[in-house]
Structure 1
Amino acid sequence: MHVTGHTRGGKRPGIRDVATAAGVSYQTVSRVINDHPSVKPATRERVLATIQTLGFRRSATALALASGRTRSVTVLTANTTHYGYAATLQGVEEAARAAGYTVAIGVLESDTVADVRAEVRRAADTGGGLIVMAYDTAGVRALAAVPDELPVVGVVETPSRPPAGHRPWVWTDDREAARTATRHLLDLGHETVHYVAIPSSTRRTGQRTAGWRDALRAAGAPEPRPLAGSWDPAGGYQAGRRLARDPSVTAILCGNDDLALGVIRALHEAGRAIPGEVSVAGFDDAPHSAFLTPSLTTVRLDFTGLGRAAFGRLHGLLEEAEPVAPRPVSVPLLIVRESSGPPPAPLPPNPPSEVPRA
């Protein structure tokens, strides 16, 4: 069978298609393309023949990497302001600068398939590797749309199973972090913990929600229905107003610290004392969390380290270093502050009224 121009699925053949057809690794194909001297002559001839047969055409990225004219990476993200996103970008920039690379940012302004693919194409044309922050629908679609021949690392939610395939991922252990924060509130004596959730990128139940539920089930505690929040204080405020009306609510975990900020405001307006009547815990340990009144109990994740790790994996791909086994980047750290405490003591029963004597 003679194959030329496109693979069976109609896609233009990439470097991994060449590697499979030639029976070599994609690193070997890259070395042949870049005229690396370490490839055996027979192997080089076989790879070159396969390239010609498949009609493989080098991308702009491959040409730039081969010529040495670029030392840059592009980060694709739908958000640059929320704490987790911004701190991850900071880590990428710090690590890239130390390695002599520049960093460009491509903002995914829409999550439609056409717009995401267009942004991925623009990023690919810059001639460097990609880091995709896949915490939302736009990011997930962008990661899936990156061409096979383009070096890419995904920054993702905690995966439900170890990453498969050739594209490395990095993540923080959100699920364990949520378990840790929920256990803290239960250990204080609260009967259960209510949850205000951030949106999930890839599934109906996000990993932070799953970790909260894990801890409740392990303790045999009731499982309240989680409230859908957003990413910002306004979403927390709306959820907090609903929770404040329920006198049985004594502990609330929020999917990030911005949500907790809104919840605290709503409880304050409702006259619910924190932590005397209701304990509140956040997530991420954003810089403002220590300066709220009361200061916020939260769980810290190393987003800056996550960004450094993402660049490190990508740098390894660009330099053809040995791949690093996938693993979460950091261990969650519980930061206990003023906003969490024991539940209020139950009110004593009313004494029986005295019957007047005749």
Structure 2
Amino acid sequence: MPQARRVSMAMVAQHAGVSGQTVSRVANGSPRVDPETRTRVERAMAELGYRPNRAARALRTGRTHTLGLVAQTLATVGNSRMLQAVAEAAAERGYALTVVTLGADAAIDDAFERLRDQGVDGAIVLNEASALARDATSAAMRLVVVDSPPDERFVSIGTDHAAGARIATDHLLAAGHHTVHHVAGPAGSYASAQRERGWRDALVAAGRDAPAVVRGDWSAASGHEQTARMLAAGVVTAIFAANDQMALGALRALAEAGRRVPRDVAVVGFDDIADAAQFPPPLTTVRQDFDALGEHAVRALVAAVEGGAPGDVLLVPELVRRASA
């Protein structure tokens, strides 16, 4: 079978009735093209099936139009949703994505080294890996870190987890519960620590004692185990779980203990995963916008790659009221 002929910039230029330099400017995202001409060139590219030659463009611009993404794991729903959001936002801007997962023991400096070897223009670091990014000694690349306190070495994009936890806890207190128990996330997680802080701050502000924290690992199994432990230890009427998976495990433990939700025990989660509305009962939760997080992270990194000076972004989550609380 004969090999398909590669569409060149010259062919696009002829089809669109413009110069080759104009096509080059459009392909490289230059602002020095009027909107009508840009639209005509982009239409010609689509009609001819033009695809930029990344290697040639890298030689011309010194950029590969490839972004890196570093995550501890992609097994959690939050990280997998962030990967999807980042991949879509990068593709919309003509950037490829290279993903490195750390696993349990890998050092983040090794991840950065792998990304540098692949010539990425910069990297996005997700969630649990953010604490490692703050301790990295050899990044030497443009970085956007998701869920990290401000740091002059990189741009920080995140959700106001503490505010979301306060909203959840205040909602349960307003429903008449004397206090709220908390199934927290892993000790090394920034998001987990912020959600625990917001829960505690809300209880202190209301003049209530904070029960002992039990800690899971973001999984439904750990939420089930820790909730069963809480029920065995004393009276529980309201639970704020640090994510929806652990809230799902809590619902199972409560059902097994013969506790009705929300009549006997109210439950609120965090994240608003796709299936949260399908839990029995549908889960009241705090929604963070993963699509917006991915969009902001890619926008900031691309801006930095292209010579801009992006700032930190902190998104405010919202309570989604359903039947569990």
TM class by shorter chain equals 0.7 to 0.9
Whole-Å separation in 2 of the counterparts to 1:327 and 1:144: 21
Q: Which ranges of structure 2 fall in alignment gaps of 5 or more residues?
A: 1-56
Q: Partner residue of 1:332?
A: 317
1:253-332 equivalences under 5 Å are: 253-321=240-308, 323-328=309-314, 330-332=315-317
Whole-Å separation in 1 of the counterparts to 2:246 and 2:126: 21
Instruction: Quote how far apart the aligned CAs of 1:214 are.
Output: 0.6
Q: Does residue 1:156 correspond to 2:147, yes or no? A: yes
Whole-Å separation in 1 of the counterparts to 2:127 and 2:59: 28
User: Is the partner of 2:260 in helix, strand or coil?
Assistant: coil
Q: Does residue 1:95 correspond to 2:89, yes or no? A: yes
Give percent identity, aligned residues only.
38
Select which of 229, 241, 245 maps to 2:232.
245
Letter in 2 for 1:93: A
Select which of 217, 224, 237 maps to 1:230.
217
Q: Which ranges of structure 1 fall in alignment gaps of 5 or more residues?
A: 1-62, 341-358
Whole-Å separation in 1 of the counterparts to 2:246 and 2:208: 23
Q: Partner residue of 1:199?
A: 186
Whole-Å separation in 2 of the counterparts to 1:235 and 1:205: 14
Whole-Å separation in 1 of the counterparts to 2:263 and 2:289: 30
Q: TM-score, normalised by structure 1?
A: 0.70
Q: Partner residue of 2:24?
A: none
Which of the pair is proportionally richer in helix?
2
Q: TM-score, normalised by structure 2?
A: 0.77
Letter in 1 for 2:311: A
Instruction: Quote how far apart the aligned CAs of 1:128 are.
Output: 1.5
Q: Does residue 1:140 correspond to 2:140, yes or no? A: no
RMSD: 2.2
Q: Partner residue of 2:65?
A: 71
1:22-41 equivalences under 5 Å are: none
Conservation of the 8 A alpha-carbon contact between 2:224 and 2:246: yes
Instruction: Quote how far apart the aligned CAs of 1:130 are.
Output: 3.4
Select which of 78, 91, 110 maps to 1:84.
78
Deviations for 1:191-214, whole angstroms, at most 9, x for unmatched residues?
000000011436797000000001
User: Is the partner of 1:178 in helix, strand or coil?
Assistant: helix
Whole-Å separation in 2 of the counterparts to 1:85 and 1:204: 12
Alpha-carbon spacing, 1:83–1:262, altered in 2? closer, same or farther (3 Å): same
Deviations for 1:160-204, whole angstroms, at most 9, x for unmatched residues?
xxx232411111100000000000000000000000001143679
Instruction: Quote how far apart the aligned CAs of 1:93 are.
Output: 1.1
Whole-Å separation in 2 of the counterparts to 1:307 and 1:320: 20
Q: Does residue 1:104 correspond to 2:98, yes or no? A: yes
Instruction: Quote how far apart the aligned CAs of 1:143 are.
Output: 5.2
Letter in 2 for 1:271: G
Q: Partner residue of 2:170?
A: 183
Whole-Å separation in 2 of the counterparts to 1:172 and 1:204: 8
Q: Partner residue of 2:47?
A: none
Q: Does residue 1:119 correspond to 2:104, yes or no? A: no
Instruction: Quote how far apart the aligned CAs of 1:306 are.
Output: 0.6
Whole-Å separation in 1 of the counterparts to 2:91 and 2:112: 23
Count of matched residue pairs: 269
Letter in 2 for 1:121: E
Deviations for 1:31-90, whole angstroms, at most 9, x for unmatched residues?
xxxxxxxxxxxxxxxxxxxxxxxxxxxxxxxx9576446211010111113121112112
Letter in 2 for 1:154: V
